[in-house]
Structure 1
């Protein structure tokens, strides 16, 4: 007889439930969150486990990878799909969650997700760290600006390199204010230095990846957008169609249809926020920062005249996903067509 296991994973403990083919619970246990403990529990009594399921969250990727190396048939299930099933239970406990996941494994009512490789997760950590550091630097600069306003001092529009000198200039001679602001400027300088290190690491990663270098041949697309796209997708072949990638990043419109009602709303925004933001920034650059015309830009400009820049940028970001995946999977690079009016993907030299 086949057996099915469900794991409800938390930082400290993992609840395990095993059911048979008829859905009867045959074993339950609460274990320390550790791959060795979980694998030993599942293997020590010699049953044939057809499927082992766990819900996706930040900690489960490590557990999934470790268990997969020990060769149990592990499946990581999509969070929203799992939540819908778990919410159907009257009493929500960790033990009941493990039981419900085991039943999902038995019935097949689940949606498996792709667990990223360690290299993709490392690259993702770099990009998230860079974005977080950039946010802290901007917060610090805005705080300094805000502290000076009650004294009638305005920093104004200034380049990054001249910010420190400008602030010290306008507070010169005000000893009490200098004593307050100087440590903040020193902290900003230290954060800027670390941000530059993370930026260099990101650029080095982009230069060392041939797929990212090919994606960067698209006009208006720098290093960060394709690098983020690369880290999030990890394996482009897991999407059967390129159009599915746009939906994966929440760039396709929501639709509600029931009876005589049929509404198409704004984009779903259900995918990765960081990648979606980077694609949107690249789309804005294509529409506003590229002087040479090609098919993707011309289509976006026509839409911008009718619907506005924001909607046009969203449509261009969705089309850019298709183009980047095509470049990635085909081993090709972008180049302008005849006359520079239509861009196309061409064989890389």
Structure 2
């Protein structure tokens, strides 16, 4: 029997495969070690291979595609509906094999190594920013124990450390002073590393046309533009801007039944990092809305008169996500709507 479809359940060391023929009959179920996976797939005629979009999935998709197979990645949440009762590796592989054959299944485009490298820069920068925030909070908390405080903001921490270095023994004991100086030195190192990553992202931004087009949208800077350009490799997979916004979890969660529409808070599905960048960018747009003179600012001001600020910010992020899809799908730069 000729294999037509394979469901591949990824793992760290041992992978589970479920193969079927054109009639849907099971040809074999196998467990393979990581080192033996590509060799086994190379002996099989080209077929459809389904994989959940998870850690290492894009790497394996590129490697398996090089063997001549057609690889499709699927969101794990969509595959779960095809899982029968008990969960194990064999059942997961069978569910993947069943899901990849569905005509209405949504697939995740395979990212190239270059775009994954850009996302690695983003994840590394996000980690360093979190560590910087932790250090700043630690320095502020320790200084407050000795009556040394400063205004909010990253820039005011340097002024606080100047006061720490000049403090005498009566105000700040020597042991505490030495400990906080060590934290300040680590904070300076993190700042330099973050700036280094920012420069590398700026270099890639100047080389990528899609990222440059996205940067023309209000609320989208270099960080957001590079993250969106590297993540959204094929905007054609979404039929509209609303579908793209829904994939990022920026649309209301529905609980409708009996012809009655019940909408709740946003679903928060999809890429959390992209959603955070869009909300942060929308926050800056909302803050400038009262002093700006544009159609978008008028729309924001109208909402602010009726709705809370945070709700308006999320609505602006939803609107920005739809504009992002339009810019990517049409290959054009953003053009602000003229005032009536």
Same fold flag (TM > 0.5): yes
SS at match of 1:52: strand
Where structure 2 has 5 or more consecutive residues not aligned to the other structure, the ranges are none
Q: Distance in 2 between matches of 1:158 and 1:241?
A: 39
Match of 1:347 in 2: none
Q: 1:213 to 1:21 in 2, by over 3 A?
A: closer
SS at match of 1:156: coil
Q: 1:333 to 1:19 in 2, by over 3 A?
A: closer
The structural deviation recorded for 1:287 is 1.7
Contact kept, 8 Å, 1:251 with 1:268, in 2: the verdict is yes
Contact kept, 8 Å, 2:8 with 2:49, in 1: the verdict is yes
The structural deviation recorded for 1:206 is 2.2
The structural deviation recorded for 1:42 is 3.5
Aligned counterparts, 1:166-315, within 5 A = 166-170=160-164, 172-173=167-168, 174-259=173-258, 262-289=261-288, 291-315=291-315
Match of 2:55 in 1: 58
| Greater fraction of residues in strand | 1
The structural deviation recorded for 1:80 is 0.3
- 4+ long deviations beyond 4 Å: 105-110, 335-338
Q: Does the alignment pair 1:84 with 2:78?
A: no
The structural deviation recorded for 1:281 is 1.4
Q: 1:7 to 1:320 in 2, by over 3 A?
A: same
Contact kept, 8 Å, 2:74 with 2:100, in 1: the verdict is no
Aligned counterparts, 1:333-344, within 5 A = 333-336=333-336, 341=339
Q: Distance in 2 between matches of 1:121 and 1:106?
A: 27
Q: Distance in 2 between matches of 1:218 and 1:115?
A: 26
The structural deviation recorded for 1:41 is 2.0
Contact kept, 8 Å, 2:18 with 2:94, in 1: the verdict is yes
Q: Which moved more, 1:238-247 or 1:252-261?
A: 252-261
Q: Distance in 1 between matches of 2:314 and 2:13?
A: 41
Q: Deviations over 1:98-148 (max 9, x none)?
A: 233334445668442222222221111111211111111011010111122
Q: Distance in 1 between matches of 2:209 and 2:31?
A: 46
Contact kept, 8 Å, 2:136 with 2:154, in 1: the verdict is no
Q: Does the alignment pair 1:154 with 2:149?
A: yes
Match of 1:68 in 2: 65
Q: Which moved more, 1:135-144 or 1:49-58?
A: 49-58
Q: Distance in 2 between matches of 1:121 and 1:200?
A: 17
Query: Normalising by structure 1, what TM-score?
Result: 0.86
Contact kept, 8 Å, 1:21 with 1:106, in 2: the verdict is no
Aligned counterparts, 1:123-142, within 5 A = 123-142=118-137
Query: Normalising by structure 2, what TM-score?
Result: 0.88
Contact kept, 8 Å, 1:214 with 1:333, in 2: the verdict is yes
Contact kept, 8 Å, 1:301 with 1:312, in 2: the verdict is no
SS at match of 2:49: strand
The structural deviation recorded for 1:337 is 5.9
Contact kept, 8 Å, 2:248 with 2:271, in 1: the verdict is yes
Q: Distance in 1 between matches of 2:22 and 2:330?
A: 44
Q: Distance in 2 between matches of 1:81 and 1:219?
A: 33
Q: Distance in 2 between matches of 1:107 and 1:240?
A: 18
Where structure 1 has 5 or more consecutive residues not aligned to the other structure, the ranges are 343-349
Alignment: residue pair count: 333
Q: Distance in 1 between matches of 2:337 and 2:251?
A: 28
Contact kept, 8 Å, 2:80 with 2:95, in 1: the verdict is no
The structural deviation recorded for 1:20 is 2.8
Q: Distance in 2 between matches of 1:227 and 1:17?
A: 37
